[in-house]
Structure 1
Amino acid sequence: MVNNRSLVIIALLAVLAWLASTSLYVVNETQRAIKLRFGEVVETDIAPGLHAKWPLINTVHTFDARVQTLENGQSRFLTAGRNALIVDSFLKWRVVDPNRFYQATRGSTDRAEALISPRVEQSLRNAFGSRDVNTIISEDRDDMLADSMASLDTAMRDEIGVEILDIRLKRVELPEQVTQAVYQRMSTERHAEARQYRAQGQEQSERIRAHADRQREIALANARKEADRLRGEGDGEAANIYANAYKQEPEFARFYRSMQAYRKSFEGNNDILVIGPKSDFFRYLEHPAGGASK
């Protein structure tokens, strides 16, 4: 009897444990949940916490409500100018309508991303296709993608119950086969600009040098003119001084001039002077006191 009673108690406890495990469920803070009855949704967006359900009648599906990242990889888009660009992007999304999300994807994140990815690519294709390369380079990327993100968010909320939080571009560049040609063209353009700048610099250098030479010639001419003027004034002043000196001491003046003439006449070693010794030229050699020669 005791053994039978123990078996009954164990069986009852097992049944209670089974009922508890199948009747109670927990929704975490990071999850969204819906309840189904025989496959039909009867309760949506269940709040986090401990909840009850009917075993074998109700089924509960939970979804991750955290922000998800979808890597779109590299895609080739054409700009308004028919230039090809390789774009690498990613997208942030999360579930906001569990009922619609379950109906569209049966709760599969992979299925949701498979539905989102082509719509993202189409939105980016439209955004790049309406702009040229220069605009894409100079425009703020957030502003460029704002309209695309808004329209995509509206569509994805209606279709699969997810919110599009952000679209980001990781890399935008030319295709590899075009890159070398573009670099070569840019190099050629830069060399042409460099030659133009060098030519302009040479022209400017010649202009500056010619102006400097002209200013130099003008300065030298003015200096020579001023020197001639000062020299003339000096010579005139010297002549006046000599004249005044000669007037004060005429005999000394004649003597000094004769001495100067002797120095200049006999300063060379090979100089020959043919002149009579009684001439007036040698009068101060014959009569140091002066006077006419006898």
Structure 2
Amino acid sequence: MTRAMGLLVALVVAAVVALSSIFIVDEREQVLVLQFGRVVSVKEDPGLAFKIPLIQDVARYDDRILSRDLDPIEVTPLDDRRLVVDAFARYRISDVNQFRQATGAAGDQAIAVAGRRLDSILRSQTREILGSVASNDILSTDRAALMLRIRNGAITEARGLGLEVIDVRLKRTDLPRENLDATFARMRAEREREATDERARGQEAAQRIRAQADRTVVELVSDARRQSEIIRGEADANRNSVFAEAYGADQEFFEFYRSLAAYRNSLLENNSTMVMSPDSEFFNYLKSDRGAQ
């Protein structure tokens, strides 16, 4: 019975030792085999792996592409127009051994340490690159070249952390909140100035059109008056010609006709009082139907 118990204990210990010497490498991670804190091997291929139990240990690191969002930072372009930039980066652990040496930790703690150091690198590169161009270049939609320059600058520095920076993107570029009111006021002033210029140009065009219309009216009225004077002159000439012919045909009838016209124009309703001599020639045809003898 004692031998059986001893054998059972030995089998259990052997099983525990065997199980503790086996570990699984996931395809989404890299594993370091450590012996007294020193790296003895790197396991990158997924599957079963072995270590010396109780002496060696494993440290696991994510092998996937990771994302890091930067806190908004202020940059000052060449035109001294401050901007608030919000960016993010995609990266992965390219050298897990160097990554451990740089961070001195494993797992999520190592990712947090590396993330803070990567943030410092990205902020430095962002300020340096964006500070070398004008704000219009940053605010334009064609800023892929700037993001590429930031990424290339971060790649060299991040390599010392065992990281590979895959991509850097600018999510948002805005003016600081304290500058928004001033910017909106300047934009409003520019729009009001443009509106004033448009109104001035409109008034100038209206005055030009009005002056042209007044000139056209004067020309038309002058031409109409000229034509009316010509027509009136022709009519007067025609009338005088008719009177002359009538006077030549029958002088007495002509005098009678002119006297009747004088009576009609003089003896009006509001002008029926006249003071003159009774033997005036004006009454020749009122004294006799044959006029002056």
User: With structure 2 as the length reference, what TM-score do the two structures score?
Assistant: 0.74
Report what 1:133 is aligned to: 135
Deviation at 1:117, TM superposition (A): 0.9
| Cα distance in 2, alignment partners of residues 111 and 132 from structure 1 | 34
Counterparts in 2 of 1:268 and 1:9: CA distance versus 1, 3 Å:
same
Distance 1:293 1:245, change over 3 A: closer
Q: Which residue of 2 aligns with 1:155?
A: 157
Q: Aligned partners of 2:82, 2:280: CA distance in 1, in Å?
A: 115
| Corresponding position of 1:233 | 234
Unaligned runs of 5+ residues in structure 2 are none
Displacement of 1:207: 4.6
Aligned residue for 2:130, secondary structure, equals helix
Q: In the alignment, is the contact (CA less than 8 A) between 2:85 and 2:170 conserved in 1?
A: no
1:190–1:292 CA distance, 2 compared to 1 (3 A): closer
Mapping 1:182-201, distance limit 5 Å: none
1:73 is aligned with what amino acid? D
- For residues 94-126 of structure 1, give each alpha carbon's deviation from its aligned partner in whole angstroms, at most 9, with x where no partner exists: 233333333333441101112211111110111
Alpha-carbon contact 1:91-1:164 (below 8 Å) kept: yes
Aligned ranges for residues 68-79 of structure 1 at < 5 Å?
Answer: 68-79=66-77
Distance 1:9 1:234 in 2: 151
CA distance in 1, matches of 2:23, 2:162: 28
**TM-score with structure 1 length normalisation?**
0.74
Q: What aligned pairs does 1:143-292 form with structure 2 within 5 A after superposition?
A: 143-174=145-176, 176=178, 178-181=179-182, 202=203, 205-240=206-241, 254-273=255-274, 274-276=276-278, 279=281, 281-283=283-285, 286-287=288-289, 291-292=290-291
Match of 2:122 among 96, 120, 123: 120
Q: How many residues align?
A: 285
Q: Does 1:53 align with 2:55?
A: no
Query: Residue by residue, what CA displacement relative to the aligned partner does 1:156-178 show, whole Å, maximum 9, x if unpaired?
Result: 235423323223242331362x5
- Whole-Å Cα distance in 2 between the matches of residues 253 and 142 of structure 1? 107
Aligned residue number for residue 25 of structure 1:
24
CA contact (8 A) 1:69 1:92 kept: yes
Task: Assess, with a 3 A threshold, how the Cα gap between structure 1 residues 78 and 249 changes in structure 2: closer, same or farther.
Answer: same
Residues 151 and 166 in structure 2, CA contact (< 8 A), matched pair in contact too: yes
Counterpart-to-counterpart distance in 1, 2:19 and 2:247: 148
- Match of 1:125, as an amino acid? R
Shift of 1:261: 2.3
CA contact (8 A) 1:101 1:162 kept: no
Contact persistence 1:280–1:293 (CA under 8 A): no
Matched residue of 1:43: which SS?
strand
Which letter does structure 2 place at the counterpart of 1:36? V
Query: In structure 1, how many angstroms separate the alpha carbons of the residues matched to 2:189 and 2:214?
Result: 37
C-alpha distance in structure 2 between counterparts of 1:78 and 1:280, whole Å: 108
Identify unmatched segments of 5+ residues in structure 1: none
Change (3 A) 1:271 1:161: same
Asked whether the equivalents of residues 94 and 162 of structure 1 are also in contact (C-alpha less than 8 Å), the reply is yes
Tell me, what secondary structure is at the counterpart of 2:83?
strand
**Alpha-carbon spacing, 1:40–1:268, altered in 2? closer, same or farther (3 Å):** same
What amino acid does structure 2 have at the position aligned with 1:51? L
After superposition, the CA RMSD in angstroms is 4.0
